[in-house]
Amino acid sequence: MYRDGHAGFNALLYAPFVPLIAASHSLEAALWGGVLVLATATLPDIDNGIDRVAHRGPTHTVWFALLIGFVAGTGTVLLARSNVGIDGSFEFGFVLGVCGILAHLAGDLVTPMGITPFAPLWRAHVTLDWFASKNGRINRAFLLVGSIALSASMSLAIWQPIS
């Protein structure tokens, strides 16, 4: 998948959780979650700009997801302490950081190039080979559907009655 497809896919996967997070935590936490999920949507592809790192190498593993989860969890704690209205915890940020990267990996899993998610411990290469990464229709469809779903979900969270 390309950038637009990954962003739409992550938005689509996060959308159902927005009203739940807003109701159980806060609207600010739901918005922060959206920021985390969208920020991680294309993060594994930073390897494209690093000469000595193979594309879909170390940044396309569960280990990278755990690392980014730790960073996102720490960032959430620091943001919550700055009194911006987020009642966030390390766990909240960690889970969203990990899930954001895993969603990216799932998006690459369906392409012919696939991924090796547990390298270097286990070199099993996985692909479902459903469509090419460069398939413009698929990328645009995910961006459109994900944007609509996340917008609708955010609107629902904003307008839900406070009990």
Residues of the chain with pLDDT > 90: what percent? Answer: 79
**pLDDT tens figures, 19-31:** 999 988 888 889 9
Instruction: Tell me what pLDDT residue 88 has.
Output: 65
CA of 140: how far to CAs of 29, 65, 108, in Å?
A: 28, 25, 15
How many domains, in total, are found in the chain?
1
Q: What is the rounded average pLDDT of the residues 112-128? A: 94
Peptide bond into 16 cis (omega under 30): no
Q: Is 124 left (phi over 0), alpha (psi -120 to 50) or beta?
A: beta
Q: What is the rounded average pLDDT of the residues 3-20? A: 97
**Domain membership of residue 147 as a residue range:** 3-159
CB 40 within 8 A of CB 101: yes
Give the tokens for residue 152: 């609708």
Q: What is the mean pLDDT of the chain?
A: 92
**pLDDT tens figures, 56-65:** 999 999 999 9
